[in-house]
Chain A
Amino acid sequence: MTEVSVTKDAKPAADDLVVLKGVNKHFGALHVLQDIDLTIARGEVVVVIGPSGSGKSTLCRTINRLETIDSGAISIDGKPLPQEGKELAKLRADVGMVFQSFNLFAHKTVLENVMLGQVKVRRTAKAEAEEKARGLLDRVGVGSQADKYPAQLSGGQQQRVAIARALAMGPKVMLFDEPTSALDPEMINEVLEVMQQLARDGMTMVVVTHEMGFARSAANRVVFMADGRIVEEAVPDQFFSNPRSDRAKDFLSKILKH
Chain B
Amino acid sequence: MDVLLDNLSLFREGFYGTVKLTVVSALVAIVVGVVIAGCRVSPVLPLRIFGTAWVTLLRNTPLTLLFLVAFFIVPKVLYPDLDSFVLAVAACGFYTSAFVAEAVRSGINTVPLGQAEAARAIGLTFAQSMRLVVLPQATRNVVPPLSSIFIALTKNTAIAGAFDNTDLFNVSKTLSNDGYDIVMIFIWITLAYLIITYAINGLFRVLEHRLEVAR
A residues apposed to B, CB below 8 Å: 64, 66, 84-86, 89-97, 99, 101, 103-107, 116-117, 120-121, 162, 165-166, 169
Contact = CB atoms under 8 A, between A and B. Distances in A.
A95 B117 CA distance: 13
B103 to A, nearest CB: 19
Interface stretch (B23-31, B122-130, B191-199): B122-130
A165 B112 CA distance: 19
Contacts of A104: 118
Contact of B124 (A64, A94, A106, A117): A117
B104 to A, nearest CB: 17
Contact of A97 (B121, B125, B133): B121
Given A84-B43, A105-B133, A107-B136, A165 B122 contact: yes
Interface residues of B, number: 20
27 contacts: A64-B121, A84-B44, A84-B126, A85-B125, A89-B120, A89-B123, A89-B126, A89-B128, A91-B123, A92-B121, A92-B122, A97-B118, A97-B121, A103-B118, A104-B118, A105-B133, A107-B137, A116-B122, A116-B132, A117-B122, A117-B124, A120-B124, A120-B132, A121-B123, A121-B124, A165-B118, A169-B122
Contacts of B10: none
A85 B124 CA distance: 10
Given A84-B44, A106-B137, A120-B132, A101 B123 contact: no
B200 interface: no
B interface, over-half SS: helix
Contacts of A92: 120-123
A121 B124 CA distance: 6
Given A120-B128, A120-B132, A105 B123 contact: no
A84 B129 CA distance: 14
Interface string B39-73: 00001100000000000000000000000000000
B115 A117 contact: no
A86 to B, nearest CB: 6
Most buried by A among B115, B118, B132: B118
Given A105-B133, A106-B137, A121 B115 contact: no
Contacts of A103: 112, 114-115, 117-118
